[in-house]
Chains A and B, each alone.
Chain A
Amino acid sequence: MPLPKFDYLEPKTVQEAADLLAEHGEEARIFAGGTDLLVLMRERVIRPKYLIDIKGIEELCELSHDEEKGIKIGAAVTLNQLIESDVVRERFGALWNAANSIADPTLRNRATLVGNICNASPAADSAPALLIYDAEVEVASKRGERTIPVQEFFTGVKHTSLKRGEVVKAVRVPNPPRGARGDYLKWGRTRGEDLAVVGVAALAANSGKIVRVALSSVFKTPVRVFEVEKIFEKGGPTNERIDEAVSAVLNRISPISDVRGGKEYRMHMTEVLTRRALSKLLGVGGD
């Protein structure tokens, strides 16, 4: 079936994109890699009258690293560009692994990180990593600019705290604590090209005093489990703290049953993956 009809718009600046969004309101959609958008349009789930392609906006193509501020990922940066970055691979391991777990390399030549979070699927694979790294979302509209902590970005299934007329310019990810190691473990039905049954991002630093865990596909939004952090701050034998952390995670999530797995299976795999991720990062015997 052909795509429904629309006008294709090509702003050259963020200002122009914001003006177009203000002018066309709900009838317009930002078009980045199109890997979510075009699929939904073909299935007639959404029928925007205007597509605003942001890939021609130079400012949004920026992927940079700053020793003070961390990395900045422009809205037009593809997942493959992110994967090719040495800084991301070496210092933001959870994000790098997450990007590698999305779809397949061909799709990643088009799909963007910002598109992944704006689509706001509970299964968005990049989201747990952004949550544990305390990322921030830079947003512009005709009214001005603002920054949204990623913790406040996801508000429900396919819902974000973006307001009408707002376009995401970039995601900023501050440098993780010194010596931090991060990982993202994704459990799917197949090794590639499927959304997660559950995904677990974890980070450990400061000899196991700083530990963070966030998950995809097991709650109505991607979710960071802050209770885990308190458990590790207070110290004690690592194995016991991992057990407590696993319980805290299971208490926090509420997975649904769908084609990818039942609720019970999701609970079980969450336990397995959380334990596996933490055991590996904290250097103790896992399963």
Chain B
Amino acid sequence: MSRHKISFSVNGERYELEVEANQTLLRLLREDLGMTGTKCACERGDCGTCTVLLDGEPVKSCLVLAVEADGRGVTTIEGISKGGEITPLQRAFIEHGAVQCGFCTPAFIVAGEALLKRNPHPTEEEVKEAIGGILCRCTGYRQIIDAIMDASKKGEK
């Protein structure tokens, strides 16, 4: 199997590593870099709990090869809050009780931040569409949608 030298950044920090061809970005993050905030569940694109940003765009990292990250920037849940301060979206999740077991939360935060960056004032339909690829088995989604809508309104002020 081929091995590849890659150079990429995770949450602004540069890494130079060698990866095997069959390594996924998800396993690289969790197993080699110890960033276990990104979750691993179905590994077949269904659940979305492995969502990270690749050059700012949400992708399901179980279906991205580690070697494909070469020369690119990855953002994970570990890189969302800055200087120990949680973001307005993270605060909204707490206020709305949008976290129960928490397994899906990193993915919703990462996807939610990407949505609000691209579209600071989404409609409820747009929020639902943007998070459509992530499953939550606990909340019934209502609180998650409310939290994202609320954070977008707070950004308005």
Co-complex (A, B):
yes
- A34–B54 Cα distance when bound, in Å, is 15
Complex CA–CA separation, A175 to B132 (angstroms): 32
A272 sits at the interface (CB 8 A): no
Size of the chain B interface, CB-CB below 8 angstroms: 32
Residues in A161-193 with C-beta less than 8 Å from chain B: 191-193
Contacts A8-B2, A8-B67, A34-B64 supplied; 17 other A-B pairs, CB < 8 Å: A1-B43, A2-B27, A4-B22, A7-B2, A8-B21, A38-B62, A39-B63, A103-B45, A104-B48, A106-B51, A106-B59, A106-B60, A106-B111, A107-B63, A109-B58, A191-B132, A192-B129
| A105 at interface by CB-CB < 8 Å | yes
> Residues of B with Cβ closer than 8 Å to A?
1-2, 4, 20-24, 27, 43-46, 48, 51, 54, 57-60, 62-65, 67-68, 111, 129-130, 132-134
Q: How far is the CA of A34 from the CA of B26 in the complex (A)?
A: 14
Contact check: which of B4, B46, B63, B134 meets A38 at CB < 8 Å?
B63
Could you tell me the distance between the alpha carbons of A98 and B63 in the complex, rounded to whole angstroms? 22
B59 touches A6 (CB 8 A): no
A3 at the interface (CB under 8 A from B): yes
Secondary structure at the B interface, as helix, strand, loop or mixed, is: mixed
* CB of A42 within 8 Å of the partner chain: yes
If A39-B63, A53-B68, A107-B60 touch, does A193 touch B133 (CB 8 Å cutoff)? yes
With a cutoff of 8 Å between Cβ atoms, the chain A residues found around residue B111 in the complex are: 106
Bound: A259/B154 CA distance, A: 44
Interface size class for chain A?
A: 20 to 34
In the assembled complex, the Cα of A103 lies from the Cα of B60 at a distance in Å of 12
Q: Are A105 and B133 in contact (CB under 8 A)?
A: yes
How far apart are the CA atoms of A116 and B78 in the complex, in Å? Answer: 33
* B129 & A110 in contact (Cβ 8 Å cutoff): no
Residue with the highest number of chain B CB atoms closer than 10 Å, among A3, A8, A38, A193: A8
Q: Out of A2, A9, A43, A110, which one reaches B22, CB within 8 Å? A: A2
Q: Give the shortest distance, in Å, between A276 (CB) and chain B (any CB).
A: 21
For A26-44 the 0/1 string (1 means CB < 8 A from B) is 0000000111001100110
Interchain CA distance A117-B98 in the complex, whole Å: 38
A226 to B7, CA, bound (A): 53
* Inter-subunit contact A192/B21 (CB<8 Å): no
Most chain A beta-carbon contacts within 10 A, residue among B20, B22, B23: B22
CA distance A7 to B2 in the complex (A): 5
Q: Cβ of B21 and Cβ of A5 under 8 Å apart?
A: yes
Kindly report which residue of chain B lies nearest to residue A110, judged by CB atoms. Answer: B59
Which one, B4, B21, B64, B132, contacts A193 given CB within 8 A? B132
